[in-house]
Amino acid sequence: MNLVSISQALLVAEHLSFSRAAQVLGVRQSAVSRRVRALEDELGVSLFERESGGVRVTEAGRRFFDRSRAGLAEIDFAIRSAGNAGCAGEGVVRIGILSSLSVGFLRDLLVRFREEHAAVAVDILEGSTREHIAGINERRLDIAFVAGEPQAPRCDVALLWQARVFIALPDGHPQADATELYWDLLKNERFILSREAPGPEIHDFVIQRLASLGFSPSVERYHVGRETLMHMVALGFGISVMSETGTATQYPGVVFRPLPTDQDLLPYSAVWLPGNDNPALRRLLSLARSMSQVRSIAARAGVTT
């Protein structure tokens, strides 16, 4: 069975479109259609229901793709492992990230790691917590740094750091000149959040914090990234919430104000497979734990690191 055909069928399933899959591959749509049709003939089942607006994955297709995706991930892992073993370098570590690298613990960690292990290649992928945990289990990622302490089957999870939570306000907002904010000043505000990572984690945090104070927040979620969301704040759609890692970037018409209490810290964790024996991963984990311990001791002593 042709692995190229399976890979192309997986891409069609991801985009639910033959034309989009062909664009991504840089080939003709007819070529993708022929390969997928030949694969269906070989399997003896239909993987897709063709419709005028795109395609829908059949139940047989869903089962086939679930198994195929994991199988191809194992093949990719085997190829990468063999390549790393055969080269003179010290390997590669594949990292999933959720937060910005502009400031904060994760940025400092990667700077230190690259200084101390310059021969290790670092491959970084942005995505949601769910996507990263799936990537770790499928061995497409070695480690992910995510918000909270997620339930991750078969994975180890370690809380490493906490980030201050900030409110994003339009610069004409009545609270824009405040040096810090409290939730009771925001209980009647409309919050706008992203559905993209790390929007779901921020959404859960906002709901939990306001509910714990007896408030029922007004929250609207949009399929936009951080930059577009901040422009929407500037335009008066509502106010938003951001971890301090995202506040280093300035947006026209937007100001960031911190929530100062100890409850307004967003925890971040590392997630990895305990059976992953990648030496580069082990070195990164060791450094992350060491830096986390130093920062924890400094925080208790009231020292900023």
pLDDT digits (tens, 9 = 90+) for 133-157: 999 999 999 999 998 888 898 999 9
pLDDT in tens, 21-64: 888 888 899 999 999 999 999 999 999 998 877 889 999 999 99
More confident residue, 82 or 228: 228
Phi and psi at residue 17, to the nearest 5°: -160, 130
Q: Which of 73-77, 196-200, 271-275 has the lowest mean pLDDT?
A: 73-77
* 3-state SS, residue 5: helix
What predicted TM-score, i.e. pTM, was given to this entire model? 0.66
d(CA 171, CA 86): 56
Both tokens of 63, joined, read 């089962």
Structure token digits, residue 267: 């925890």
Closest listed residue to residue 240, CA positions, set 131, 248, 135, 227? 227
Question: Is residue 60 helix, strand or coil?
Answer: helix
Structure tokens at 37: 């049709």
Instruction: Using alpha carbons only, give the angle 136, 140, 145 rounded to the nearest 5 degrees.
Output: 45
What amino acid is encoded at 131 in this protein? E
26 Rama sector, left if φ>0, alpha if ψ -120 to 50, beta otherwise: left
Q: What is the pLDDT of residue 54?
A: 80
What is the DSSP pairing of strand 218-222 with strand 156-170? unpaired
How far from the centroid of its chain's Cα atoms is residue 152's Cα?
Answer: 14
**Given this model, what pLDDT does residue 82 score?**
63
Residue 162 CA to residue 9 CA, distance in Å, equals 41
Which tops the pLDDT comparison, 197 or 253?
Answer: 253
DSSP assignment string, 72-120: HHHHHHHHHHHHHHHSSS--EEEEEE-S-SSSSHHHHHHHHHHHH-TTS
Residue 171 has pLDDT above 60, yes or no: yes
Distance CA 155, CA 78 (A): 20
Question: Does residue 84 carry a pLDDT above 70?
Answer: no
